[in-house]
Structure 1
Amino acid sequence: MIKREYTNINDFLEDDSFKNWVHQENGTDISFWEFWIENNPEKLALVNKAKDLVLGVSFQKNFVSEEKVALEWSKLASKIKDRKAKPKRKVRFLKQFGAAASILLLVSVGFYFINKNTKITHKTNYGEILNIKLQDGSDVTLNSNSSLSYYKNESRKVWLSGEAFFQVDKKKATNAKFWVLTNDLEVEVYGTSFNVNTKKQKTDVFLEEGNIWLKLKNGSDKKMIPGNYISYSADKNKILEEKNIFNPTIKTSWKDGSLLFDNLSLEKAMEKIEESYGYSIVFKDEVSKNTLITGAVPITNIDICLKAIEKSVDVIITKKDNSLVISKK
């Protein structure tokens, strides 16, 4: 188990032994945490909040099945083989059969090339997270209300609208590049892990590991190293924000079904909820808007998510049509 001072919710959520205690899965961890709670009664409220969050995160990974393009080709090949195996009945049919075979071959070849150039698109609804395995071996986690497109014969060049986390498979033999294209910029990599978000008319890129190049729409290039975060807008033709982030989970925790906030205003935190579920956010007072929130909340269930936020910052969140109305208690 991790040796640390448990001073906030995130300390509990990062400890596997605490999760084992919540799920009652490991005798040693269960004994440790029962002893720890008994000797730290002042932390009981914090423990219960963290327990609620662990129980509330019910992230279900939906892996995308492989495309079945080869199926039609194998059917056509089988038909051709069956026809060749049949005995020739009369000589006068040779010419007609030859013509038919030629047409079938042309159709088969045409079908094959059309399928190779078919554009594949994956889309997610609000509140949905999707895991995609590309043909080159790369993994993509697509956030809610997002889409990822690529051509069947070129899955190392993808178009993104929304947010996605990429774990690009490095091709050591060919050193082939991988491209992510958005309305603002292009990301050029060989093999690495990074997050791209194109929402709110800009593109945010966070590099978790490896090295990448950004080709901005204004013609300039930017090299990124692990921990770098850049936000760029083509409409405004400038870099909006550039900094280093030392805790990568702040930018990538969504892919595991939760959002991590580190001393963030509730107004900024609710922007992420708006992106995930499409609700408009309405604050009834300035105090609630500027309240700071630290910790993790689950995002795969909107009701549990809102209850977790209410507990964390002592506010009331009410659903009203397509809005979330927030006020202090």
Structure 2
Amino acid sequence: MSKKNYDSINDFLDDNSFKNWVFQNNGTDVGFWDFWIANNPDKQDLVNEAKDLVIGVSFNKKQVGKEKVAFEWQKLEAKIKAKQKQPKRKLRHLHKYGAVASILLLVVLSVYFINRNTRITHKTNYGEILTIKLKDGSDVTLNSNSSLSYYKNESRKVWLKGEAFFQVDKKIATNAKFWVLTDDLSVEVYGTSFNVSTKRKKTDVFLEEGNIWLKLKNGQDKKMIPGNYISYSSEKNKVLEDKNIFNARIKTSWKNGSLLFDNLSLEDAMEKIKESYGFSIIFKDEESKKLSITGAVPITNIDICLQAIEKSVNVAIVKEDNSLVISKK
């Protein structure tokens, strides 16, 4: 994002942030380029050409409708049948015509299915939170060090690694389901608000509003109602926790830029900091691990976050390389 002017295709191709935008790999770069393109409409054609070169596809992106494909196929069949009624001496020309037509049809169908099946992935870095609006109208808030994937024309089925909060748009007319898939389970939804986390080799689901069904990898189904929290590990093949949580903010406050602790041990609290920022956690003494912390700390700024924890439990937290070293004051 260092360039000031983008006047040629090479200007775009030389910019790694532009490539990240093309493949939707980095939330910060995606936000930057969405804003830049919206404010530079005169560069749209240049952006499209550069995007084609990055992807490696330079044909027309216009999707071919199913009706158009069926119509062209019927026309082709009619012409072939008409040719078949002609004398046999013209069969060689018919074969040649049919071969060319088949190649053209294959190209048309290839364009259609390539565009139809494009897989889109959103990723966040440590300390980054990304808000995503899906094609079906649903909203997703993606937590740090997480990824969300789905196919371009099927955004009501998503694959999650990490953590995300979902506000699913209910399709009353079609009653269409929404699916969230993880390594442990799948979440079946019609329209509701819920939080899913796949960290620590398990999947945690908290339902804030509505009703959802969990389909566990062991074949079990579980229906959830608002306030339910279920933690399941396919590796251990069991439900680790199944309880009700009356303060929803304990599980969802991260999406608003803070972590809420309710009588949580400092050891468990620092695990959440580790998940958000990627630091290793080192305790100098066992007593500090058992200290209890209650209250909210901001996570949008790691320094302010650590200062808030230090004051809450009277400990010292020092950054050493990629570690946070904790000791009693």
Mark yes or no: TM-score above 0.5. yes
Is this contact kept in 1: 2:144–2:276, CA < 8 A?
yes
1:73 match: secondary structure? coil
Please report the RMSD computed on the Cα atoms of aligned residues, expressed in angstroms: 2.9
| 1:9 matched residue in structure 2 | none
Aligned counterparts of 2:158 and 2:63: Cα–Cα separation in 1: 30
Aligned counterparts of 1:75 and 1:324: Cα–Cα separation in 2: 51
Kindly indicate whether residue 206 of structure 2 is the aligned counterpart of residue 192 of structure 1: no
Q: How does 1:45-84 map to 2 (within 5 A)?
A: 72-74=60-62
Structure 2 residues without counterparts, runs of 5 or longer: 1-27, 39-47, 52-58, 65-98
Aligned counterparts of 1:237 and 1:319: Cα–Cα separation in 2: 37
| 2:203 matched residue in structure 1 | 203
Q: Which amino acid aligns with 1:162?
A: G
Is this contact kept in 2: 1:126–1:144, CA < 8 A?
yes
How far residue 197 of structure 1 moved from its aligned partner, in angstroms, is 0.4
How far residue 111 of structure 1 moved from its aligned partner, in angstroms, is 2.0
| 1:259 matched residue in structure 2 | 259
Is this contact kept in 2: 1:165–1:195, CA < 8 A?
yes
| 1:249 matched residue in structure 2 | 249
| 1:11 matched residue in structure 2 | none
**Which has the higher mean CA deviation after the structures are superposed, 310-319 or 198-207?**
310-319
| 1:286 matched residue in structure 2 | 286
How far residue 73 of structure 1 moved from its aligned partner, in angstroms, is 3.2
| 2:180 matched residue in structure 1 | 180
Q: Which amino acid aligns with 2:244?
A: N
| 1:38 matched residue in structure 2 | none
Is this contact kept in 2: 1:116–1:153, CA < 8 A?
yes
Is this contact kept in 1: 2:212–2:224, CA < 8 A?
yes
| 2:154 matched residue in structure 1 | 154
Structure 1 residues without counterparts, runs of 5 or longer: 1-59, 77-98
Is this contact kept in 2: 1:282–1:326, CA < 8 A?
yes
TM-score after normalising by structure 1: 0.70
Kindly indicate whether residue 302 of structure 2 is the aligned counterpart of residue 314 of structure 1: no
1:176 match: secondary structure? coil
Q: Which amino acid aligns with 1:299?
A: I
Is this contact kept in 2: 1:257–1:299, CA < 8 A?
yes
How far residue 72 of structure 1 moved from its aligned partner, in angstroms, is 4.5
How far residue 291 of structure 1 moved from its aligned partner, in angstroms, is 1.0
Is this contact kept in 1: 2:315–2:328, CA < 8 A?
yes
Q: Which amino acid aligns with 2:215?
A: K
How far residue 315 of structure 1 moved from its aligned partner, in angstroms, is 0.7
Is this contact kept in 2: 1:192–1:211, CA < 8 A?
yes
Kindly indicate whether residue 111 of structure 2 is the aligned counterpart of residue 116 of structure 1: no
Which structure is higher in RCO with an 8 Å CA cutoff and minimum separation 6? Answer: 1
Q: Which amino acid aligns with 2:190?
A: Y
Aligned counterparts of 1:72 and 1:306: Cα–Cα separation in 2: 52
Aligned counterparts of 2:185 and 2:61: Cα–Cα separation in 1: 37
How far residue 100 of structure 1 moved from its aligned partner, in angstroms, is 9.7
Aligned counterparts of 1:266 and 1:279: Cα–Cα separation in 2: 15
2:126 match: secondary structure? coil
How far residue 308 of structure 1 moved from its aligned partner, in angstroms, is 1.1
- The alignment of Structure 1 onto Structure 2 pairs a total of residues equal to 250
